[in-house]
Structures are given as C-alpha cells and as structure tokens.
Amino acid sequence: MPTDFDIAIVGSGYAGSIMAMVARRLGRRVLLLDKSKHPRFAIGESSTPLANLLLEEIATEFDLPQLLPLTAWGPWQRTHPKIGCGLKRGFSFYHHTAGQPFSPRHDRSNELLVAASPNDEVADTHWYRPDFDQFLAQEAAKLGVDLIEEVDLEKPEFTPTGVKLSGRHKGTRHSWTTGLLIDATGPDGFLHRQLGLKENPFPHLPETQALFGHFTGVARWADLMAGQAGSPPYAPDDAALHHVFDGGWMWVLRFNNGITSAGVSVTPTLAAQLNLSEGEPAWRRFLDRFPSIGEQFRNAAATRPFTHAPAVGFRCAEVVGESWCLLPSAAGFMDPLLSTGFPLALLGIQRLGRTLRDSPSQQALAGYQTETLADLAIVEELVSALFARMDDFGTFTALTMLYFAAASFSESAKRLGRGELAPGFFLRGHEVFRAGLLDCCHRARNGSPSGALVADIRRRVEPFNVIGLFNPARRNWYPVDFEDLYRDAAKLLASRDDIDVFLHKAGLR
C-alpha cells in the first residue's frame, strides 16, 4: 500500500520546518503538523557561531538559499528586517553575590566577555521565535510541504508500510499515512508521550527549574556599569548576557523590536527558596536578592505571563524505532547555559538529511541515535560541571574555556576545510580533548580545589586554543584578534596563508 506521504513531521518549530524543507529538497512528499498556529511564542532564542555555520552548511548542502541571510546579523537585517532578531556579538558573564550590588573589579575577576565575531555584519543573532518560526513554516509550505496547523493528534498506529496518523483539525477527524514519522515537538514531546518511551535522566545534572518571560523596558547593563574603566571588546548587552550566582544563572537577550527575553535556571534548592512555581512573585524575590539585576529590571514590564518550567533537563532513552525518529531537540535537553539546543538540532537535521538522501535503513537510523545520545552526554558533562561551580567564578570561567576552545577550534577547522581535525560535537571524538574535558569536569563536580584544577584546564585547552584564551593580559575580556589564529595556525595544521584565505572567504577580513 503506498502511503500518502514519505515523511510526516510533527512540530513546526524552526527545527521541524527546516527538517521539512530538507526532506522536500530531497524530493520527498512531506507533511508538517502542529497543534498550535504561527505566530506563537517559543523559548530558545540565542544562536552561536557553530549553529550559524551548521545553518549555512544545511543551506548549501540541501539547496536552501532562503536560509542563508538568517546566518548572520548583517544579511538578516538587509533581507528580512521585519523578522525580529537580536544582535549577538559574544558571551557576557557577570558574577553576583546575594544581597550585594555588582561591583566591577580592576582585574575583572567577576566578569568574562568572549567575543564571537569581529563586527556586527557577521555577528550571531537571537531568533525572535514567533517571527522566525512562522517565516520558516511558510517557506516550507512554499516548497510544497503540506503544512497543517491546529491539529489535535491521537496515538500513531504502526502498519507494515509505515505509520498512520489521525487527529482532529477544524472539527473534523483526518488520517494520513506516512513512511517515516519525525518528532520535532521538543522535550517530553509527542512520541515520548504517545509511545510511552522511557526517560533516561542525566546522571550529573541537578534537576534545574526555570522561570522566564519577555519584557519591555529592561535597562542596558552597560549603562549600569558606566563608571567601569576600559573599553570592552563589544557592547556587553549586544550578546547573550549571563548573570551567574550561587545556585544558578540568568539570561538576558535583547531583540531589535523592543522586547528582551530573560529567565533564570536554578538548582532545586534555590528554586525552593524562591518558590519558583509562583511565577511573578518569585521573579520579584529573585530581583530583590540580587540588587544590581533588580536595578536592571527596575522599569521592566512583562509582555506575557511568566512560564515556569519545573524540570528543564530531559532525555529520552530511545531516539529511533521502526518508522520513527526524534530530532535531537525532542530526544533531550539539559539547560540553555551554553546555547547548545540550536546546534544540536541542526546537527541532527543535517545527519537525518544525509541519511534520507541515501534512503534510510534501520542501521543508519541506529547510527543517528548513537550520535545524538553521545552529543547530549558530552554537553551534560560540561553543563553539570559549570552548575557545580556557579559560586566559584574563577573555576567557572576556566571551565567555559573548554567550551570556547572546542567551539572556536571546530569552527576554524571546518572553515579551513579540515573538519576531520574536529570530530564530533564539542570535539567529543577527539581522544585527547575528550579525556581532558571528562577529567576536568569530573573534578569540578567533585569539589577539586580551584588552583590546581584551573591550571589543569588551561593545560588541557592549550593544544586547541586558537583564540588567545587564558591570556592574563586580557583580564577576562577576549576580543576577536586574528593574530591569535595566525600564531596558532599550526594547531590547525594550517599556514598563515591558509588562515588568510579562510578569513577572506568567511567575510571576516
């Protein structure tokens, strides 16, 4: 029996829609279903250099030029000024102590700024998801994907030829048959619930909770720091701004439409102290606890009700089955701390796209499951270590260097056409880096004293350090300085000329 569709995707967030576009470009008949209707709120907004590189690769590999302008701030603003977006020049961290105002120090030991791009043109972005996801769902429909919103789906039925999906749409019951079902509904999503898939909690990560919303009137942090000496490598608010404190952290992401996304992710202890499930009153308690953050939000007004996420971390034990698979974003998520949601989802889309091109076998899908679960495991190592040292900012800063080294080394290697030097997400396929990361994260979680641990992290990072990390002269402010890359070209088995070519090709020089 032929099926109505080759592929049905449940969930038309950015991930489901891009997956649908890829499948369509591969000549498949694609159905895209969603229980809600665009534009709709979605959380998860901050992109990274690796996420944008993956988006670029997907655009090129699967002939989707409409994605290219969305890979950097400059072309996005010229091409789609109406799709809400935030400028992200880097990662800004400030460490706070409860009850005390933040006070900048001469050695900048309570802050960390790491630039991700040398200028606004090529900078990363925050995706204003109501606009962004709607645009992508519409683009998918333009390519011939059958997009059906506001569908209330029932439990799927598995047949010898694939899957039968049924559900109610506009008061009428419909059924569709498909060869493959892809779940893009996010953590604890459609197939996890309908098939009763087993959960496999992260062993090291605390059971964090989150409280978040969208606001207007959030002050720029730089204005509160107006007296600070020196000129930072980029405006600290044009970034993913993190406030870090004992028991958790906060994100502040500014969009160009007057809206700022902000939220906290905290350990169960702090969540209980704040009584986080209460929503707005808990938010006020949090702002009272950290006076400088309170000052930043003094005139802020929420534009939508607060969302309380009682369990942020989630991992499904199974990622694929007979005629179905989960996108990485449905397979698991630990915490937004290192903005890993987007690159992991895009990596999964790229992998599945390649599998579909070669006509998918159960063996290929099993390989996809192994890779997806290994990616989640390595991210958990680092995120859980960071959570363990939220109140020890020196160690926290050193641990983030594992992330910045892996990300910048991987990006540079890929852009040099030497992707084989950077195997796996977070270099997890690189034996030397992996061993160093696992050891340092293990010790960080187990209370290893800061001095020796920081020295060791520095030693482990050095062979992969191509952006001048740990340079004491920078006092925790890291601009993009291409001299670092030229000096360390040999670590990438490259010459100065190779670096020149790559920087020009990437529009970085």
Ligand X SMILES: Cc1cc2nc3c(=O)[nH]c(=O)nc-3n(C[C@H](O)[C@H](O)[C@H](O)COP(=O)(O)OP(=O)(O)OC[C@H]3O[C@@H](n4cnc5c(N)ncnc54)[C@H](O)[C@@H]3O)c2cc1C
Instruction: Give the interface with ligand X as residue ranges (CB under 6 A).
Output: 10-16, 33-36, 42-46, 153, 184-186, 189-190, 210, 212, 263, 309, 312, 327, 329, 333, 336, 339, 341-342, 345
Reading the block at residue 75, the tokens are: 């072309």
Alpha-carbon distances of 256 from 2, 46, 305, rounded to whole Å = 48, 13, 21
Least Å from the CB of residue 344 to ligand X: 7
* Cβ count within 10 A of residue 311: 13
Strand ranges (E), 310-374: 314-315, 320-321, 324-326, 332-333
Report the distance separating Cα 73 and Cα 54, nearest Å.
Answer: 16
Is the Cβ of residue 36 or residue 273 nearer to ligand X in the bound state?
Answer: 36
Backbone phi and psi for residue 489, each to the nearest 5 degrees, phi listed first: -55, -35
Is the Cβ of residue 245 or residue 502 nearer to ligand X in the bound state?
Answer: 245
Least Å from the CB of residue 290 to ligand X: 19
At 280 the three-state DSSP class reads helix
Contact predicate 266/208, CB 8 Å = yes
Is the Cβ of residue 260 or residue 448 nearer to ligand X in the bound state?
Answer: 260
Least Å from the CB of residue 97 to ligand X: 24
Least Å from the CB of residue 48 to ligand X: 7
Reading the block at residue 165, the tokens are: 């999906």
Angle (CA) 466-469-470 rounded to 5° is: 140
Is the Cβ of residue 221 or residue 342 nearer to ligand X in the bound state?
Answer: 342
Closest residue to ligand X in the complex (CB): 44
Contact predicate 368/324, CB 8 Å = no
Pairing of strands 157-159, 162-169: antiparallel
Is the Cβ of residue 91 or residue 470 nearer to ligand X in the bound state?
Answer: 91
Report the distance separating Cα 247 and Cα 391, nearest Å.
Answer: 7
Is the Cβ of residue 387 or residue 470 nearer to ligand X in the bound state?
Answer: 387
Complete DSSP assignment for 179-210:
EEEEE-S-TT-HHHHHTTPPB---SSS---EE
Reading the block at residue 368, the tokens are: 């996809």
Least Å from the CB of residue 3 to ligand X: 19
Is the Cβ of residue 115 or residue 309 nearer to ligand X in the bound state?
Answer: 309
Report the distance separating Cα 246 and Cα 267, nearest Å.
Answer: 9
| Eight-class DSSP state of 307 | E
Least Å from the CB of residue 182 to ligand X: 10
224 by Cβ neighbours in 10 Å (0-12 / 13-18 / 19+) ranks as: middle
Neighbouring C-alpha atoms within 13 Å toward the C-beta of 148: 21
Is the Cβ of residue 34 or residue 488 nearer to ligand X in the bound state?
Answer: 34
Is the Cβ of residue 134 or residue 448 nearer to ligand X in the bound state?
Answer: 134
Is the Cβ of residue 115 or residue 331 nearer to ligand X in the bound state?
Answer: 331
Report the distance separating Cα 147 and Cα 211, nearest Å.
Answer: 31
Neighbouring C-alpha atoms within 13 Å toward the C-beta of 18: 33
Least Å from the CB of residue 209 to ligand X: 10
Is the Cβ of residue 54 or residue 467 nearer to ligand X in the bound state?
Answer: 54
Report the distance separating Cα 353 and Cα 60, nearest Å.
Answer: 12
Report the distance separating Cα 91 and Cα 112, nearest Å.
Answer: 8
Least Å from the CB of residue 158 to ligand X: 17
Least Å from the CB of residue 342 to ligand X: 3
Least Å from the CB of residue 337 to ligand X: 9
Least Å from the CB of residue 111 to ligand X: 20
